[in-house]
């Protein structure tokens, strides 16, 4: 991938895609193609085929997806599986049809079983039952992994799948109904702080309502008041969080430095060492054995409980009220920690630790809403 290669980023406005766009631009890539959803509906097979025929990208980052937190995943189950499957099917297939040199497909670590051993290795895929609340989304992402693998094996394409852990960063979704846990906690705790300080104009502006009474009534539905913030579950589940710009750097690193065949060979060398067998190289195309789990986890390899995360956010926001854990609400998977051995062995490690990242994203949120 050289600086003049035509690179298409699907989903360039989202948390993931915007970070990849920024990373590529910072490295001097100057032929980047983007389209908004209004300009290009990736769920529409006909328009996606026409786009690829016209643009003919050399490289594709498939970061477009319908995403959300535990509530959104469990509420809009049909939307999550349908839209994500359609996006993947169209972009991956047209990348094959139009001879894209390399594609990077981004999934999620929710692909792993609910009770997978921790930390989660790539080889744990499809070994047990998925977490129910995000099962449709996870199945869509698993299908994307298998689609990339299958096209590589049948057609000789160079499609790589990466599975980032929980991400946060600039352009994150702070919608109280649909956001992931970290941005949701930041916004809820921030709004509770504003209420406690009687900064009603800022609350009204943040929520886009016309009175503080409406604002308070709306926030009460999410357990937010001047005295406390409600958090679903016990607070005991542990999660791993990765700064989105670190994730983008890992994706660009993999796109520039690794091919599908490299990952297959690395997997087989590791298996040979574990079995204390000699490793004999044969081309990917000539292999008659099973090739699976060629995706790569992207994460930090470090996790934290939701309660600890909430306390970090509370301290950074400087909210003096209480955090109330509603144990009648679901916890979700108790632990989701990625094994990032494969990624580290490729030569990449994260740089932004969680507390620094939370400070950064809170400042970004304040700047976006002009609360300075």
Task: Say whether 82 is catalytic.
Answer: no
Contact 57, 33 (CB under 8 A): yes
Contact 242, 350 (CB under 8 A): yes
User: What is residue 304's three-state secondary structure?
Assistant: strand
Instruction: Give the residue carrying structure tokens 């690193």.
Output: 253
Residue 341: φ, ψ to 5°: -60, -45
Q: Which of 8, 29, 112, 137 is catalytic?
A: 137
Which stretch of DSSP H or E encloses residue 326?
A: strand 322-326
- Dist. CA 337–CA 120, nearest whole Å: 6
Question: Which one, of 304, 311, 346, 312, lies nearest residue 325 by Cα?
Answer: 311
CB-based contacts of 294: which residues, under 8 Å, 6+ apart? 122, 145, 148, 149, 152, 160, 161, 260, 263, 264, 267
CB-based contacts of 89: which residues, under 8 Å, 6+ apart? 45, 147
Q: Catalytic positions, please?
A: 137
């Amino acid at each position: 991938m050289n600086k003049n290669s035509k690179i298409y980023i699907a989903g360039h406005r989202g948390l993931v895609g915007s970070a990849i766009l920024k990373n590529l631009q910072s490295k001097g890539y100057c032929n980047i193609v983007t389209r908004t959803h209004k300009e290009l509906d990736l769920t529409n097979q006909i328009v996606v085929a026409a786009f690829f025929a016209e643009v003919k990208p050399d490289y594709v980052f498939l970061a477009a997806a319908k995403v959300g937190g535990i509530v959104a995943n469990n509420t809009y189950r049909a939307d999550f599986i349908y839209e994500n499957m359609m996006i993947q099917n169209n972009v991956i297939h047209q990348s094959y049809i139009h001879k894209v040199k390399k594609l990077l497909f981004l999934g999620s670590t929710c692909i792993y079983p609910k009770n997978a051993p921790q930390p989660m290795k790539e080889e744990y895929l499809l070994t047990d039952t998925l977490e129910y609340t995000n099962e449709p989304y996870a199945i869509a992402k698993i299908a994307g992994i298998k689609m990339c693998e299958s096209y590589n094996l049948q057609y000789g394409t160079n499609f790589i799948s990466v599975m980032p852990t929980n991400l946060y960063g600039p352009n994150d979704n702070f919608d109280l109904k649909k956001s992931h846990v970290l941005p949701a906690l930041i916004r809820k705790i921030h709004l509770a702080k504003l209420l406690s300080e009687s900064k009603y104009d800022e609350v009204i502006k943040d929520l886009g309502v016309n009175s503080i009474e409406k604002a308070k009534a709306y926030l009460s539905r999410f357990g937010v008041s001047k005295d406390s913030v409600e958090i679903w579950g016990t607070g005991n589940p542990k999660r791993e969080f990765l700064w989105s710009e670190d994730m983008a750097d890992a994706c660009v690193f993999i796109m520039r430095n690794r091919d599908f065949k490299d990952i297959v060979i690395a997997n087989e060398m590791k298996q040979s060492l574990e079995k204390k067998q000699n490793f004999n190289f044969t081309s990917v195309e000539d292999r008659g054995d099973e090739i699976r789990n060629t995706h790569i986890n992207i994460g930090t390899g470090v996790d934290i409980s939701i309660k600890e995360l909430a306390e970090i956010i509370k301290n950074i926001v400087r909210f003096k009220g209480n955090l109330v854990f509603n144990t009648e609400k679901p916890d979700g998977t108790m632990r989701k920690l990625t094994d990032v051995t494969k990624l580290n062995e490729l030569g990449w490690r994260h740089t932004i630790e969680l507390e620094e990242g939370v400070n950064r994203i809170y400042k970004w949120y304040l700047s976006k809403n002009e609360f300075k």
